[in-house]
């Protein structure tokens, strides 16, 4: 028999997170506490769930138009105006997708020709690189630096730009580091993008979750709207991960091609989720604020607790992750995570799952109750102290 598989997909390495997930699942130990989850611990607000139920009761069980419900797209435009000061025409500049992840894939496939280079600042979410490769693009990674709080600097970007650079992926607030880019941080990046005629795919799925500073989209900077694909969604802000709903906003020319792929591959995003999302955007600001405040409290607790353990931890101002350095323990990220799991039964994700530059770091999620965080960090502190004592012997 011939090889049934295509070379391109076979050559893509499975996600580093998957590897660690398998180890945890294999242990099958009920005492394991995980701080490894990339989704909110809150339930979707009841009024949003109730709206989904209502839409089913009313028999709204059909396809919507390919790009999504018009009333949802209108709400998305209102939301972006209200929160970020950017506007998109609901008729042809907004596309409702199956999660932000689909939008990332669509953007790459719609914009890349074979050999085009896509700049990925790492550590970052696991799907950009495979999506670029599947779209015949060439990923060019920039290892972000802890000393810059894992922000992308103009120098780093400029050094990575070549004649073939077409897209810069801008994943802020960042998973896994929690790093955010302020307006001042974005301005020199925007300048370079305009100078070198580069497009930006801005993944702002954590945009609603920033602490002490408001999220700024690069699309709101002069000259950037026309060269930015803004990606956002409902998963993180409204605790709606399982509803699988995101959106992409872009100039009509780009969006039309993304819509074409979406139309053939997906048809439309789930109808029930779209009705629920309308309610979330109309009446959900208070829920987001409540969750944001809870995350903020846990964020402060974790940063404080890890520093108290003697581990370096820069203060992240977005998403729901901290990214402490474990270099002082002498272990690699993988070693630390595996030993911690075996010895203290705490699951965390090694920074290397998000790119080589994550070596020496861990991603710790604070999408957990304060009680759970306390128990887990007590175990981690004991682990760090034990290994430190061992090293000093």
CB of 370 to other proteins, least distance (A): 7
Q: Which of 121, 101, 104 is nearest to 189 (CA)?
A: 121
Among 53, 220, 300, 380, binds other proteins (CB under 8 A): 300
Phi, psi of 247 (to 5 degrees): -155, 155
What is the distance between the alpha carbons of residues 101 and 81, in angstroms, rounded to a whole number? 23
3-state secondary structure of 281: helix
Query: Is 327 in contact with 313 (CB distance < 8 Å)?
Result: no
Under the criterion CB under 8 A, does residue 15 sit at the interface with other proteins?
Answer: yes
Span 348-377, contacts to other proteins by CB under 8 A: 349, 353, 370, 374
Among 44, 64, 97, 175, binds other proteins (CB under 8 A): 175
Instruction: Tell me the number of residues near other proteins by CB under 8 A.
Output: 29
CB of 1 to other proteins, least distance (A): 34
CB of 95 to other proteins, least distance (A): 23
CB of 271 to other proteins, least distance (A): 23
CB of 368 to other proteins, least distance (A): 10
CB of 136 to other proteins, least distance (A): 23
Residue 40 or 68: which CB sits closer to other proteins?
Answer: 40
Span 181-240, contacts to other proteins by CB under 8 A: none
Q: Give the number of other CB atoms < 10 A from CB of residue 116.
A: 17
Q: Give the number of other CB atoms < 10 A from CB of residue 170.
A: 27
What is the distance between the alpha carbons of residues 272 and 60, in angstroms, rounded to a whole number? 7
Span 253-292, contacts to other proteins by CB under 8 A: none
Map residues 104-133 to x or -, x wherever contact with other proteins holds by CB under 8 A. ---------------------xxx------
What is the distance between the alpha carbons of residues 41 and 366, in angstroms, rounded to a whole number? 9
Span 25-54, contacts to other proteins by CB under 8 A: 25, 32, 34, 36-39, 41
Phi, psi of 363 (to 5 degrees): -100, 120
Half-sphere exposure of 117 (CA within 13 A, CB side): 15
Q: Which stretch binds other proteins (CB under 8 A): 24-32, 268-276, 316-324, 379-387?
A: 24-32
3-state secondary structure of 69: coil
Q: Which stretch binds other proteins (CB under 8 A): 14-22, 143-151, 257-265, 268-276?
A: 14-22
Report CA 280 to chain centroid distance, whole Å: 20
What is the distance between the alpha carbons of residues 331 and 174, in angstroms, rounded to a whole number? 24
Residue 41 or 156: which CB sits closer to other proteins?
Answer: 41
CB of 277 to other proteins, least distance (A): 20
Burial 188-204 (b: 16+ CB within 10 A, else e): ebbbebeeeebbbbbbb
Q: Which stretch binds other proteins (CB under 8 A): 16-24, 75-83, 221-229, 246-254?
A: 16-24
What is the distance between the alpha carbons of residues 177 and 171, in angstroms, rounded to a whole number? 10
Q: Which stretch binds other proteins (CB under 8 A): 46-54, 87-95, 184-192, 300-308?
A: 300-308
What is the distance between the alpha carbons of residues 159 and 196, in angstroms, rounded to a whole number? 12
Q: Which of 77, 134, 118, 29 is nearest to 278 (CA)?
A: 77
Contact residues: other proteins, CB under 8 A: 15, 17, 20-21, 24-25, 32, 34, 36-39, 41, 125-127, 175, 293, 297-298, 300-301, 304-305, 347, 349, 353, 370, 374
């Amino acid at each position: 028999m011939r090889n049934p598989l295509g070379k391109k997909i076979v050559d893509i390495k499975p996600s580093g997170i998957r590897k660690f997930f398998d180890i945890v699942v294999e242990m099958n130990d009920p005492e394991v506490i995980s701080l490894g989850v990339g989704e909110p611990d809150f339930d979707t607000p009841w009024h949003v769930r109730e709206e989904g139920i209502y839409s089913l009761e009313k028999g709204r069980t059909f396809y919507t138009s390919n790009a999504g419900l018009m009333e949802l797209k209108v709400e998305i435009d209102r939301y972006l105006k209200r929160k970020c000061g950017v506007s998109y025409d609901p008729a042809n500049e907004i596309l409702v997708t199956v999660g932000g992840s689909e939008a990332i894939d669509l953007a790459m496939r719609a914009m890349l020709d074979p050999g085009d280079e896509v700049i990925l600042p790492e550590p970052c979410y696991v799907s950009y690189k495979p999506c670029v490769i599947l779209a015949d693009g060439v990923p060019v990674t920039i290892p972000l630096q802890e000393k810059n709080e894992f922000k992308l600097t103009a120098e780093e970007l400029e050094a990575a730009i070549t004649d073939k650079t077409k897209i810069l992926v801008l994943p802020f607030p960042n998973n896994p580091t929690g790093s955010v880019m302020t307006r001042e941080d974005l301005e020199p990046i925007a300048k370079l993008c305009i100078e070198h005629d580069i497009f930006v795919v801005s993944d702002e799925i954590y945009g609603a979750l920033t602490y002490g500073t408001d999220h700024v989209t690069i699309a709101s900077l002069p000259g950037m709207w026309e060269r930015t694909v803004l990606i956002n969604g409902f998963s993180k802000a409204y605790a709606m991960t399982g509803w699988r709903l995101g959106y992409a906003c872009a100039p009509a020319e780009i969006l039309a091609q993304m819509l074409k792929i979406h139309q053939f591959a997906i048809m439309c995003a789930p109808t029930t989720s779209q009705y629920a999302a309308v309610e979330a955007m109309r009446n959900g600001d208070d829920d987001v604020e409540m969750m944001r405040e809870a995350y903020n409290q846990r964020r402060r607790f974790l940063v404080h607790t890890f520093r108290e353990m003697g581990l370096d931890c820069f203060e992240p101002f977005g998403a729901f992750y901290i990214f402490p350095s474990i270099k002082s323990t002498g272990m690699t990220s993988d070693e630390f995570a595996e030993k911690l799991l075996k010895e203290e039964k705490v699951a965390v994700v090694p920074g290397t799952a998000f790119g080589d530059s994550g070596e020496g770091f861990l991603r710790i999620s604070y999408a957990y109750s304060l009680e759970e965080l306390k128990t887990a960090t007590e175990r981690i502190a004991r682990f760090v102290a034990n290994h430190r004592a061992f090293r000093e012997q």
